[in-house]
Amino acid sequence: MTVLHLADETEAADLAAFLSRLLHYDRGAAVRLQAAGTALAVFGRPPSFEVLAVRAVRLAKPYEDGLDATLDVTVSAGELLESVDERAATAAVPGAVTGPPWAGLLPPRAGWRPEPGLPAPDALRATVAAAVAEFRSRTEELAPEARTRAELDRIGRDIWSRRIGGTGLPVRAVHAAQSLGFLRPGTGPAGTGLFSSGAWLRLRTPYGSVAVRQTGPLGSLGVSVR
C-alpha cells in the first residue's frame, strides 16, 4: 500500500477537513489524486455546486513508489479520509475506483492568465451571504403546493448562475469556495485571484481553488444552501 508522507500535522488536518466537506455533500464521493515531487493535488466535485474543487497538499518528501515518480489515481474519498493519520502526518492511498465522468475532465495545469475585476474576499463572502438569504426568502414565500423540486431548481439557477461583478465567475463558484473552507473569514487579497485558461475559470485562494467551465456543463446546477 502506498503511504503519502504529508508535510506536517496541519497539512494532514486540512486534507481531512476537505475530504469531510466533500463527503458532507456526497457520501459516495470520489477524489482524483495527482502527485509529483512534493506536491499532491486532490480533485473533488461537490455535486451541489457544479464546480471542481482542488486542494493542494504539501508532501514531506518527493512522491516515489518503486519506479513510479508520479501518482495519478481516482479513489474513494471516504476510504482516503479513514487512512489519514493527523499525528503521524500520513495517509494511505486506497485502491483505485472507477472514476466518475468529471475525473476525466480536469482543468489544465498551465496557461492560466489573471483576470481583472474580482472583488475582495470580504465582498465575496457578503455576496454569498446575500445569495443564501435571497434563496431562503424566495423559497419560504412559495405556497406549499408550489414548493416543488423544479421550482426550487429554477430559483437556485437564477441566483447561483449570476456573475460576480464584471467577471464571468458564477456566484455558485464562490459559494463552493466558502462551503469547502477555501474562503475563510480573515482571508485577505494576498494569494486570492481569478484566472482563466481556455474554457476554464479558476478562483484561487491560499487554501484551495475551485474551477468551472465557461462552456459545457459538468452536471446539474444545485441549489444547496447548507
What domain count does the chain have?
2
**By residue range, what is the domain housing residue 132?**
113-213
Final residue of a structural domain among 104, 135, 150: 104
Count other Cβ atoms within 10 Å, centred on residue 89. 20
Question: Of 104, 128, 147, which one is at a domain's C-terminal end?
Answer: 104
Among the candidates 104, 125, 150, a domain finishes at: 104
pLDDT tens for the chain, 226 residues: list them. 799 999 999 999 999 999 999 999 999 999 999 999 999 999 999 988 889 999 999 999 999 887 788 999 999 999 999 999 999 999 999 999 998 999 999 999 899 999 999 999 999 999 999 999 999 999 999 999 999 999 999 999 999 999 998 899 999 999 999 999 999 888 888 889 999 999 999 999 999 999 999 764 443 333 333 2
pTM of the model: 0.89
Tell me the CATH number at 49: 3.10.150
DSSP annotation of 162: P
Tell whether 202 and 164 lie within a shared domain: yes
Helix (H) or strand (E) holding 14: helix 9-25
One domain, residues 82 and 140 = no
Packing angle of the helix pair 121-140, 171-179 (nearest 10 deg): 100
